[in-house]
């Protein structure tokens, strides 16, 4: 793993042969894209069809000899595996092949480490890496364990140096994990305070969710005028980015979240709760899908996103499907999409095509949840009038001798704050 985590000069010299196991067809295209994002060249691949990987060596014994020869012919100095390996599988593969072996989880962790920008994001990456490596520490010290195995039994000073080093490393790792979790709890509390402030403002919140490279950051930039970095790399956005935008005079908040991926390791779902919590707390999840990919691939991507959203408890949050990158399709392709996904909105974040339809769909979802109110607000309550304009967007206003008479539709969560100004004494509901 160390070689993959070094700088770009060292990385450029890495040449990986990719391997995978599955009962049916094995598709290693996503693993190749992960390696490209990590700066590793791919020089070949090998797959084995079997019900499940060998529990000790991932590949069967007979296939390992072929793999060793294939790696030599491809001039590979690294084996990349399309699954998370057990520590013993990784250790046995390296012993058999004589070159480093890295699994899918370690590659993703490396990319996350490279892309995290905020202090919280970096803490989350370090926590996930430590938890991943903790189970593998014993394998790093097998040579020292053997040194201690021949010593006398019992008594002080008879323990082998390998065992002492293992215990020391594991203790240090656990202490660091505990410290990281404490710091992340503190940042989580700060984030919760900020969210409460947002909730008090009662601005409708929309969370962008989607497979990595679906075009979420481009869409955020186009809709809000933000300048979030956009690159054709997996997991380019790790830290949550929230910007405001306006529909019919009402302010909305739009948050970009980390891109999802098939076989996303569970510890990464836990580690990146910061961005995923934005989806959990949103009023609406805008599921952005790359509509330009083949149909089977698109369904796999959508299923991966749905699975993670369910895992974090956001399965019941209202959802709107946005089929992105339709500028890459012809008229026939768009018609086919409209038949297959009649409730979706077809858009292009790059060209702006369909964004008016998207805004209309978002607004329609929120208008259905607003509470109509008729209020009489004294002129001295200028702050309340301003807040009503922000929350309600378009409203009916009439200046009278007693104050400003207002008819507006207000988010249900904010309505209790204005009930004292009710013009008809029934809690604000117009007659």
- Edge to edge, the sheet with strand 284-290 lists 241-247, 250-256, 205-210, 284-290, 319-324, 345-346
* Strands 404-411 vs 370-377: parallel, antiparallel or unpaired: antiparallel
Spatial strand order of the sheet with 78-81 comes to 41-49, 15-22, 78-81, 101-103
Tokens of 103: 């699994």
Tokens 């520490």 belong to 137
Task: Please report the pLDDT score of residue 424 as a whole number.
Answer: 65
Structure tokens, 426: 């029934």
DSSP 8-state secondary structure symbol assigned to residue 59:
S
Question: Which of the four pLDDT bands, split at 50, 70 and 90, describes residue 32?
Answer: very high
Residue 245 neighbours by CB distance under 10 Å: 18
Tokens encoding 236:
């380019």
- The structure tokens 């909730």 sit at 199
Residues 48-86 have pLDDT tens digits of: 999 999 999 999 988 999 999 999 999 999 999 999 999
Question: Max CA-CA distance within the chain?
Answer: 98
Q: Please, which pLDDT band fits residue 431 given cuts at 50, 70 and 90? A: very low
Report pLDDT digits (tens) over 182-194: 888 887 777 666 6
pLDDT, mean of residues 328-343: 94
235, 346, 355 from 358: Cα distances, Å: 25, 8, 5
Measure CA 1 to chain center.
23
Q: What is the mean pLDDT of the chain?
A: 81
Sign of the dihedral defined by the CA atoms of residues 262, 264, 269, 272, in that order: negative
Q: What is the pLDDT of residues 134-170, one digit of tens each?
A: 877 754 444 444 344 444 444 334 344 555 677 777 8
């Amino acid at each position: 793993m160390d070689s993959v985590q070094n700088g770009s000069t060292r990385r450029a010299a890495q040449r990986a042969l990719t391997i995978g196991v599955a009962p049916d067809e094995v598709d290693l295209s996503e693993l190749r894209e992960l390696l490209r994002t990590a700066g590793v060249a791919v020089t070949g691949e090998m797959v084995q069809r079997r019900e499940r990987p060998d529990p000790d060596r991932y590949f069967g014994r007979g296939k390992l000899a072929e793999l060793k020869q294939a790696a030599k012919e491809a001039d590979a100095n690294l084996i990349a595996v399309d699954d998370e390996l057990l520590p013993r599988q990784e250790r046995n593969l390296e012993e058999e092949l004589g070159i480093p072996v890295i699994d899918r989880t370690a590659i993703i962790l490396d990319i996350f480490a490279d892309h995290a920008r905020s202090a919280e994001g970096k803490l989350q990456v370090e926590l996930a890496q430590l938890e991943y490596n903790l189970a593998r520490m014993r394998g790093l010290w097998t040579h020292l364990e053997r040194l201690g195995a021949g010593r006398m039994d019992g008594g002080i000073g008879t323990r082998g140096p390998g065992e002492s080093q293992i215990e020391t490393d594991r203790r240090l790792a656990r202490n660091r994990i505990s410290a990281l979790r404490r710091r992340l709890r503190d940042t989580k509390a700060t984030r919760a305070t900020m969210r409460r402030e947002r909730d008090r403002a009662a601005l409708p919140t929309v969370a962008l969710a989607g497979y990595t490279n679906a075009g979420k950051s481009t869409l955020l930039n186009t809709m809000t005028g933000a300048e979030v970095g956009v690159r054709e790399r997996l997991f380019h956005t790790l830290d949550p980015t929230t910007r405001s935008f306006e529909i019919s005079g009402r302010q909305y908040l739009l948050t970009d979240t980390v891109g999802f991926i098939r076989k996303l390791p569970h510890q990464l779902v836990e580690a990146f709760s910061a961005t995923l919590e934005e989806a959990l707390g949103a009023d609406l999840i805008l599921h952005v899908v790359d509509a330009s990919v083949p149909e089977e691939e698109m369904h796999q991507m959508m299923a991966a996103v749905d699975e993670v959203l369910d895992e974090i408890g956001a399965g019941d949050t209202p959802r709107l499907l946005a089929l992105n990158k339709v500028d890459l399709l012809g008229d026939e392709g768009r018609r086919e999409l409209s038949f297959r996904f009649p409730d979706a909105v077809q858009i292009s974040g790059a060209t702006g095509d369909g964004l008016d339809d998207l805004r209309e769909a978002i607004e329609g979802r929120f208008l259905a949840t607003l509470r109509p109110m008729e209020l009489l607000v004294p002129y001295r309550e200028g702050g309340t009038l301003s807040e009503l304009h922000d929350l309600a967007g378009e409203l009916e206003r009439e200046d009278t001798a007693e104050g400003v008479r207002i008819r507006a539709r207000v988010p249900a969560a904010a309505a209790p704050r204005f009930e004292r100004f009710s013009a008809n004494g029934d809690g604000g509901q117009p007659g």
